[in-house]
Structure 1
Amino acid sequence: MLLLHQARAVRSLTASVLRATVVGATTAGMGLLARAAWGIPTALGASRAEIAEAAGDSPRFADGTFHNTQSGGLLRPVNPAALIVAMLSRGQSGAPTGPVPLAVPRFPTVADQLAVTWYGHSSALIEIDGRRVLVDPVWSDRVSPSPLIGPKRMHPVPTGLDALPEVDAVLISHDHYDHLDLPTVRELVRRGSAPFVVPLGVGAHLRSWGVPAERVVELDWGGQARVRELTLTCTEARHFSGRSLARNTTLWSSWVIAGPQHGVFFGGDTGYTPSFAEIGARFGPFNLTLLPIGAYNEQWPEVHMTPEEAVRAHGDLGGGLLVPVHWATFNLAFHEWSEPVRRLLAEAKRADTRVAVPMPGERFIVNTPPENDWWSAIS
């Protein structure tokens, strides 16, 4: 989550400054700092004033920020010293013990009726009723405003953006760096013409990065956009936002992707909320759900679901097949690398829930999900 990203960034930047000081602020040391800071102002996105224009009279916007329906803080009371010790002493438990196996997807000329390709973390390409929707695409090596500082990928991107088939829409759940990536956005703009459908305020970031205004659709919870035969509905999530120290200036969301024959729910990044049952009753049942299972911790239970809560949410939504996301790619919390998927499968077995765990880059038809265990050998 953003707090840990910032803490790691500060720790890394401090180390960089110390190294530069030790060498007497040499040209090499100063060059390192310059490279680390390169592009940060642009990556931070739009100003608070530019973002606020999109809020309008949203019932979720008050006193200059957006708010969750349920009350509760982002963090439970925590001893800062204990948090720092945990960060410094966790070792490599959050990383795999070997290379993560990757697959190279092969796409048909025409999109399938219901298929999914998971690229790692929350990035996925959903094929539904002959259309393609790309969700939370992040192709950069780091999820950070800096190219040198911040959480780094634990596995490569399975394929480059040049290998993507033409997409009909790009959905963004919120503006955190591990879900909204400046270089990826710019490359998608250059390579295609698909609209970016985003929660309120996120469009200001996109426009500041050069995305044509006519390709940006901003929605509040409950808002809908029609893209060809698909109806895209912005739905509630329990999270927060912000690309700098200013939080909650933009809205966060989950998404309902509805075609003539099939329905998909994309959770983005969220804590558990009773709103899932309301979404399921109104828009479900869903043939497929993609729900976050990683980066949870007892210190921030309101904004990241545990694997057990993901299974519960899947049931609330009336989901058919559950595909876990938001794990395996970036080390953003204190749990072991494979703990989320182990806990997910144990709870899914208890609840009799259908789950598919593809390897990064693996494309599959939802009616024939993969069953291979690729993670245990590197856990």
Structure 2
Amino acid sequence: MTCVFLSFGINLCQLERNNFLCCFVYFGETKQPIFSTRAHVFQIDPNTKKNWVPTSKHAVTVSYFYDSTRNVYRIISLDGSKAIINSTITPNMTFTKTSQKFGQWADSRANTVYGLGFSSESNLAKFADKFAEFKEAARLAKEKSQEKMELTSTPSQESAPGDLQSPLTSESINGTDDERVTPDTPQHTEARAEPSQNALPFSHSSSNINKHWEAELAALKGNNAKLTAALLESTANVKQWKQQLAAYQEEAERLHKRVTELECVSGQTTVIKSQKTELNQTIEELESALKAKEEELERLKAEVESANEFQSQKDTLTLKLQDSESRNETLEAQLSDLERRLESSQHEREDFRKSLRSLLELLDSKIFELTELRDTLAKLLEGS
């Protein structure tokens, strides 16, 4: 990470060496992100320009930040203390969705192409919408900055045609940072014709420069206070880490003593090896005996299972026999009842036959009497 030295003597690299996260401190930049999401970060392979190279082993936080001093929007992502994305959004950038969960954009200043893999389509859509929104805001900010720079830097129309903008502008004071917006005006190549012609623009530019420096100084003071607090917190963390280091050193000394004791015990390795050989032989004998016992146990288990099977068959047959006996008793009772009923019906039949015989005999006698009566009546009829 590029070391940032402030005018108040605080070195951010020193804070980084103390393992305090002071990455991405920009003059006037807000602390809180405007929008954050989680994604897997990739960069295009610089050699092949085709394959994607993952820059994070897992999903990391990717955030949009606003740099109020430079009036630009940034995409920033950290993997631990390592900056894996630090991209400034410019109006000519384009975020492209290459799949349902993957998007990419090219950063010419970083000379790379960033790719983000999201967990859902909605996260990708939100990130793309924010990219388009901040891209448009960057375009508007660039136009406003160009208008402002033209008003503060362009000389009066009454000046001679050869007199161009004054070199004492905010751009010349702060350097040609490619994150600042530079108006499309030619450089001053000729000496001024007359000092009196540029007196008014020069004084006006000096006033703007003073205001700009006052704003820069106020921002630097604020950042200096923040970094001082961060340095104090880092110092406290260093004390804590020193305590942890002392504890680790004590643990290392204890382990070293333990290793020494084990080395002293190593002289008895011959006896231990012989005992180990005897124990191994005993273990093998016990294992063979255990194997034999296990085989015997398996055989007994098989016999027990067969006996249990026979017992279950016996119980089944016993139940069937009992059922058969109960049904046989029922049938015998039914047979006895039928025999009794048959005998009773036979007696009733004999009685009925006897009754019929007696009725036939009585009928025969009556028929005989009627025959005699008829004959008598016929005789009487013939005699009359």
TM-score w.r.t. structure 1 length?
0.20
- Higher relative contact order, structure no. (Cα contacts within 8 Å, ≥ 6 residues apart): 1
Q: Which has the higher strand share?
A: 1
Structure with the higher fraction of residues in helix conformation = 2
Q: TM-score when scaled to structure 2?
A: 0.19
Larger Rg: 2
